[in-house]
Amino acid sequence: RILQVSSRVNSTRYPSSSFSSSSVSTVKLFINGKFVESGSDKWIDIHNPATNEVIGRVPQTTKAEMDAAIASCKHTFPAWADTSVLSRQQVLLRYQQLIKENLKEIAKLITLEQGKTLADAEGDVFRGLQVVEHACSVTSLLLGETMPSITKDMDIYSYRLPLGVCAGIAPFNFPAMIPLWMFPMAMVCGNTFLMKPSERVPGATMLLAKLFQDSGAPDGTLNIIHGQHEAVNYICDHPDIKAISFVGSNQAGEYIFERGSRHGKRVQANMGAKNHGVVMPDANKENTLNQLVGAAFGAAGQRCMALSTAILVGEAKKWLPELVERAKNLRVNAGDQPGADLGPLITPQAKERVCNLIDSGTREGASILLDGRKIKVKGYENGNFVGPTIISNVKPNMTCYKEEIFGPVLVVLETDTLDEAIKIVNDNPYGNGTAIFTTNGATARKYSHLVDVGQVGVNVPIPVPLPMFSFTGSRASFRGDTNFYGKQVTLSLKKIFSLRNFLNIFRSKDSAKKALPAA
Ligand code: NAD
């Protein structure tokens, strides 16, 4: 089917512009403004996680194709960097409109490939859309700084200038939001971009690329390659790539951070998590239990900000049976089925890994209060489903506590005091997000100040910042010193100009070149 971008996309499966229309669709590359079929002889199957049927194939991009993509980014960079910031802003303004018009279609593609419910998939696109909207405020974000009379007859100006070719490597769990954390902000600042989506869920990125092109982004500003390790190594090593945005697991992230940094690139890496929700006995019980259930099991726990660990303090321990009752009421089904609260895990291997971690809890002395391992979903018997699972009596030395589970599993610890809870949170290697549930302002303040975690919610279970702030993380959840979106994103400061006896700063470029001292 033909993609109708100016009105609405009508396809419910792969649109033909960026995918072939053979019996099993193949995902195309996007090189220099064209969606092209890869000549690779190595392909990876894409499965629908609710059925495990093969729904498409994605190529392991060849070296020659990756070279072509980089050459396109590099060739386009000078003209794009020189395009006025207002023109770049206009592209993004059109882009946010097209994403809004096509939000439901992008969401359907996410549910097909990733498995999450349609409501969660729409949220995935919506959170990415907010970053695109934020990118539209580039005219304020890119303002530099000046200080007159820094010494006699001398002023200093700093400009925020684009770096060049940047690249993004994305995970499977937010197929729209995370690519949209990456390329729109980099590109509105004047960089060109090479994107490598997750090989398990490339569809949303392809559709977003088509919409970006239809927003007026010039050919070559955005290029897309596919694959796994070879593509990642290529990005880490290529001298023309100046910066890498990575989101994903620690195993990949540490490697990419180290290898990319070794090649002199600026690397931002947001990685794994073990997010704690601390429940104080003075919390609003009704609200807290509902929030815990949603944050632990929503999106089948495949969120980096999932609240996967509860610490019940003092009398709050008594709320455990009610927590279990609420979790039992969640409906597990294919993501496109009405009423589904959570869908399947991404692969059979992910399901096996999650079940093994639940098994480890039993072996190591924890209690399984709610067990989702044996769940059967009618009509989807081959899907990768795990039902909501609650493990109690968990101790910090247990495997199910130490590992990021990334499934619909809540591990529960108990303490007598807030101080003990804070110690547990700070002793855990990860520091992505956390929440405290309390009605006491002093308790909330103490917790938020003492925990070493990037994003802290007070009675807010998934404290993901809106894009005018930055997404962050601490300790093992984060490498690098730059953040996604927010003001941080424009910290691409390359040059500071010191100007002496230089009055007419609004010169044309040529005359300014003559007058500027060497930077
Ligand atoms: P992943 O690390 O397996 O994959 C991420 C990307 O890295 C993919 O594009 C993949 O092709 C590539 N990759 C995978 N293994 C690699 C390797 N060994 N060498 C080089 N490249 C490799 O992650 P995932 O399973 O797709 O995503 C889930 C993980 O992402 C979880 O750990 C989750 O917490 C994390 N995550 C973190 C954030 C955050 O902001 N902190 C957000 C979303 C997801």
The pLDDT tens digits of the residues spanning 456-479 come to 999 999 999 999 998 999 999 999
Q: Which of 124, 169, 228, 249 to mutate for ligand 1's pocket (most ligand atoms within 8 Å of CB)?
A: 249
Q: Which amino acid is at 166?
A: C
Task: Please tell me if the CB atom of residue 485 comes closer than 6 angstroms to any atom of ligand 1.
Answer: no
Average pLDDT for 443-462 = 94
Average pLDDT for 90-111 = 98
The pLDDT tens digits of the residues spanning 293-327 come to 999 999 999 999 999 999 999 999 999 999 999 99
Residue corresponding to tokens 């609650």: 390
Closest protein CA for atom 18 of ligand 1: 252
Ligand 1 centroid to Cα of residue 150, in Å, is 46
CA 56, CA 211: separation in Å to the nearest integer?
21
Out of 52-66, 187-201, 263-277, 497-511, least confident range: 497-511
SS3 state at 272? coil
> What is the pLDDT at residue 519?
30
Model ipTM?
0.98
Ligand 1 centroid to Cα of residue 267, in Å, is 15
pTM here is 0.92
Torsion sign, CA atoms 382, 387, 393, 399: positive
Q: Is the pLDDT of residue 231 over 60?
A: yes
SS3 state at 353? helix
**How high is the mean pLDDT of the chain?**
91
**Ligand 1 atom at shortest distance from the alpha carbon of 478:** 41
Q: Is the pLDDT of residue 114 over 80?
A: yes
CB neighbourhood size of 24 (10 A) = 14
> What is the pLDDT at residue 505?
42
Ligand 1 centroid to Cα of residue 253, in Å, is 7
Ligand 1 centroid to Cα of residue 72, in Å, is 26
CA 190, CA 224: separation in Å to the nearest integer?
18
Torsion sign, CA atoms 215, 220, 226, 232: negative
**Ligand 1 atom at shortest distance from the alpha carbon of 174:** 43
**Residue 335 CA from chain centroid, whole number:** 20
CA 41, CA 291: separation in Å to the nearest integer?
47
- For 103-118, the DSSP string reads HHHHHHHHHHHH---H
Size of the chain, expressed as the number of residues it contains: 519
Which element (helix H / strand E) includes 309? strand 309-313
Are 166 and 245 in contact, with CB atoms under 8 Å apart?
A: yes
Which element (helix H / strand E) includes 91? helix 85-101
Task: Please tell me if the CB atom of residue 346 comes closer than 6 angstroms to any atom of ligand 1.
Answer: no
> What is the pLDDT at residue 202?
98
Task: Please tell me if the CB atom of residue 228 comes closer than 6 angstroms to any atom of ligand 1.
Answer: yes
What number of helices (H) and strands (E) belong to the chain? 16, 23
CA 292, CA 323: separation in Å to the nearest integer?
8
SS3 state at 417? coil
The pLDDT tens digits of the residues spanning 379-433 come to 999 999 999 999 999 999 999 999 999 999 999 999 999 999 999 999 999 999 9
> What is the pLDDT at residue 150?
87
> What is the pLDDT at residue 417?
98
**Active-site residue flag, 304:** yes
Q: Is the pLDDT of residue 501 over 60?
A: no
Average pLDDT for 168-182 = 98
Residue 173: which of 428, 345, 363 has the closest Cα?
Answer: 345
The pLDDT tens digits of the residues spanning 6-30 come to 323 333 456 666 666 556 789 999 9
The pLDDT tens digits of the residues spanning 356-375 come to 999 999 999 999 999 999 99
> What is the pLDDT at residue 18?
64
Residue 185: which of 243, 114, 237 has the closest Cα?
Answer: 243
Task: Please tell me if the CB atom of residue 349 comes closer than 6 angstroms to any atom of ligand 1.
Answer: no
Out of 101-105, 152-156, 214-218, least confident range: 152-156
Average pLDDT for 55-81 = 98
The half-sphere exposure of 511 on its side-chain side, counting CA atoms within 13 A, is 7
Relative to beta strand 222-224, strand 192-196 is: parallel
The pLDDT tens digits of the residues spanning 122-162 come to 999 999 999 999 999 999 999 988 899 888 888 888 888 99
Average pLDDT for 69-92 = 98
Q: Is the pLDDT of residue 119 over 80?
A: yes
% of the chain surpassing 90 pLDDT? 83
Give the 3-state secondary structure of 161-179: CCCCEEEEECCCCCCCHHH
**Ligand 1 atom at shortest distance from the alpha carbon of 484:** 40
Ligand 1 centroid to Cα of residue 57, in Å, is 20
Closest protein CA for atom 16 of ligand 1: 252
Relative to beta strand 474-475, strand 430-431 is: antiparallel
> What is the pLDDT at residue 21?
58
> From residue 335, how far is each of 50, 56, 298, 362, 385 by CA, in Å?
8, 18, 12, 30, 11
CA 491, CA 160: separation in Å to the nearest integer?
7
**Residue 493 CA from chain centroid, whole number:** 24
Query: pLDDT category, 488, cuts 50, 70, 90?
Result: confident
Catalytic, out of 136, 304, 355, 400:
304
CA 479, CA 144: separation in Å to the nearest integer?
26
Q: Is 295 exposed, middle or buried (0-12, 13-18, 19+ CB in 10 A)?
A: buried
Q: Is 63 exposed, middle or buried (0-12, 13-18, 19+ CB in 10 A)?
A: exposed
> What is the pLDDT at residue 67?
98
Query: pLDDT category, 489, cuts 50, 70, 90?
Result: confident
Q: Is the pLDDT of residue 511 over 90?
A: no
CA 399, CA 225: separation in Å to the nearest integer?
36
What does the block give as tokens for 482?
């730059």
Q: Is the pLDDT of residue 230 over 90?
A: yes
Q: Which of 173, 182, 255 to mutate for ligand 1's pocket (most ligand atoms within 8 Å of CB)?
A: 173
